[in-house]
Every structure is written in C-alpha cells, then in structure tokens.
Amino acid sequence: MKKESPTQFELNTSPFARTRVMGIVNVTPDSFSDGGKWASADAAIKRGHELMAQGADILDIGGESTRPGAQILTADEEWARIETVVAELSASYPVSVDTYHAKTAIRAVEAGAFIINDVTGGQGDPKMFDAIVSTQTNYILQHGRGNAQSMNSLANYTNVGDEVASELRASLRKAFDAGMREDQIIIDPGFGFAKMGEDDWNLAVNMDAVMGIGLPVLVGVSRKRFLERVGTLKGGERGLTPLDRDDATAAFTSHFARMGVWAVRVHEVAASRVAVDVEEQLMLHWQMLNGIRPGAIRHEGGCCSGSVSHTDSYEVSGCCGGTGSHGVSVSRSGGALGGCGGSCGCGGH
C-alpha cells in the first residue's frame, strides 16, 4: 500500500502543512556525493526503503548524474539503470524521477512515478513539456542556465533572487503555452546550478521573489559545495567532503521549512525530518499562543491567507493581502506569472 497518494499531497493549495522531505536515490556510478553506492538495482531499492524508514515523504530516483563532466546518457541507457528501481519502489511509496529525457519521463509515469524532476527546466529535451502534458503528471521545473559544461560561466547576477524568479517565470510561460496547468508544477530555484558560492548564499536569504511566484517550491542544497565553509569540522577544516555537509544541510532544512517551502531534497533524511517536525511544532504552538486556530492559515505555494506577525493580531484576509510574519508588506498581482510583491513569510515564528 502506498504511504500517501499523489492527490493527498495537494501540490498547489493546501492547509499550512509541514515541509515534506524528499530522499535522494542515485542509481549512478558517478554522482558527486555518493556515486557507486547504490548503482545496482538491489542496492538502490534497499536504499529507498531505508530513506522511507528515516521519515522521507517522497523518493527521488535518478539514473544520470548532473555534476559537471558526468557521463551523458541516452534515454534508453538511463531507463535501463532505473526501470526496476522505479517499478519496485513506486509500488509502495510516492516516487519522483529525476530526468530531463521526455522518453524516460513517459516510461517512469507508466511505471508508477507521479512527479518528474527536470533539472533543465525543459531545456534538455524539447519534447519534455509535451510529455508532461500528455501524461498529466506533476513536474518540477528547475532554474538553471546553460548546461553542465557551461553553467558556471553563466553565474553572473546583480540580484540573484529577482533574476532567478524572473527566469523561472519565463520558463513557466513556455510550460503554460505547451498546455501545462499551474496545479501540475513545482518550481525549484536551482541551488548550485549556474550559481557559484556567494550566489547560493545570497539566494538562500533572498527567496521572496521565488516564493512570491505562488507555486509550491522544492529546494535542494544537500551536500552542495557552497556548504563547505560550514560543514563538519575535521582536522581543522570544514566540509572537506560532501559527506561532511549533512549537518549543514539539516540546518538549511530548518531555514527553508520556516519559509514554508513545499519540500527539501536531501541525501540523508533523518536529521532533516527532525528539522521539519520541529518547525511544525513551533508553528502550531505559535498559533495557539496567539489565539489562532491551527490550520486557519492557509499556505498557497508561497502565499498565505491571513495577516500574521510577531506583534500584529491575526486577521483573515486575502492571499498576500497583509503583513508577513517578518513585517514585510506584500501585495498580490495574481497568478503564477504575477505572484506576490514579496514573501508572506507565514513560515516564520
């Protein structure tokens, strides 16, 4: 029996719920952090069960590494790696498949996956948007520039948060023109993709424009290079290897859960699940102490129905029609291509 059906995720509009945790299953020999550990189908399936036991809500299965210089696969080669894993794990759990190949996307949905996670945002395969429309599945549209070979040279920003949001909106227009619906789409600001060190840190504290698009947001910072400055201390140095960045990843999970992101994508689930559970309890108790009925605030893909702050009394109003929990005045111009003029910040406390 599936742990939770796709419709129960209510991807686009849901009562204020805790951030979900997406566990990564890399069926690859060359991923940057754990390449080779789960490369066989049996090992990957076992890993999927382990991540769910740790508290994952969703599994994200990938067969091709997206790190610079990684082996480029055809759709058939990619599917040969992940077919058995997708079929086996999707029989028991909600499964996302990490692919930019339209052919793999169609096969994955037929095998039981309910989300396609495309790190190229539709740029990797011109047939991807049509595949999503034809299968009516859910789609994670990620921000990026260029490809694995060129993206680092394209990491030039004046205001990374605003520029990422603007470029996501441009990609969304293409998706809508292809026939995709808003309620199919999750957006991902693409930490580490066409972003260098300081860009990632600046984006992490400037997510208002991305959250203001009004769609569910997935964030993936797990083990990424920019965390090395705060990773686990070993031999007088921090974050020497990707495995030394799991504590920093969990800290970021707490940060993003407070913002109200839909999900975080992580290699090790246990600590991040604790982080989102703590944030959920803090929010519930903050609501109770302020005389707010739990669930009265609705989180709508980055906007919230209500006016909430540390000092203001609670008053129900329109989405983004008030003051956010950090005192940010916001206004909504409507829809995923209009979005909010700021972040409601309902995840703050």
CA atoms within 13 A on the CB side of 229: 5
Query: What share of the chain in percent tops pLDDT 90?
Result: 59
pLDDT at 337: 66
24 vs 307, which has greater pLDDT? 24
3 vs 309, which has greater pLDDT? 3
DSSP 327: S
The span from the CA of 214 to the CA of 212, in Å, is 5
Q: Is the pLDDT of residue 345 over 50?
A: no
Q: How confident is the model at residue 297 (pLDDT cuts 50, 70, 90)?
A: low
Q: Is the pLDDT of residue 287 over 70?
A: yes
Task: Taking residues 204-228, report their average pLDDT.
Answer: 95
CB 330 within 8 A of CB 341: yes
Strands 298-300 and 14-15: antiparallel
User: What CATH number has the domain spanning 9-273?
Assistant: 3.20.20.20
Which string of b and e fits 34-51 if b means at least 16 CB within 10 Å? Answer: beeebbebeebbebbebb
Q: What is the pLDDT of residues 24-35, one digit of tens each?
A: 999 988 655 655
Work out the mean pLDDT of the chain and round it to a whole number.
Answer: 81
Q: How confident is the model at residue 72 (pLDDT cuts 50, 70, 90)?
A: confident
In 27-122, where do the E strands start and end? 58-62, 95-98, 115-118
Q: Is the pLDDT of residue 51 over 90?
A: yes
pLDDT at 77: 96
Q: Is the pLDDT of residue 349 over 70?
A: no
Return the bridge partners of 183, or none: none
Q: How confident is the model at residue 238 (pLDDT cuts 50, 70, 90)?
A: confident
pTM to 2 decimals? 0.82
Which string of b and e fits 19-33 if b means at least 16 CB within 10 Å? Answer: bbbbbbbbbbeebbb
Which string of b and e fits 219-239 if b means at least 16 CB within 10 Å? Answer: bbbbbbebbbeebeeeeeebb
Q: Is the pLDDT of residue 117 over 50?
A: yes
346 vs 296, which has greater pLDDT? 296
Dihedral sign of CA atoms 22, 23, 26, 30 in order? positive
Dihedral sign of CA atoms 37, 97, 163, 306 in order? negative
Q: How confident is the model at residue 258 (pLDDT cuts 50, 70, 90)?
A: very high
The pair phi, psi for residue 94, each rounded to 5°, is -65, 130
Of 3, 304, 262, 246, the closest CA to residue 117 belongs to 262
Q: Is the pLDDT of residue 13 over 50?
A: no
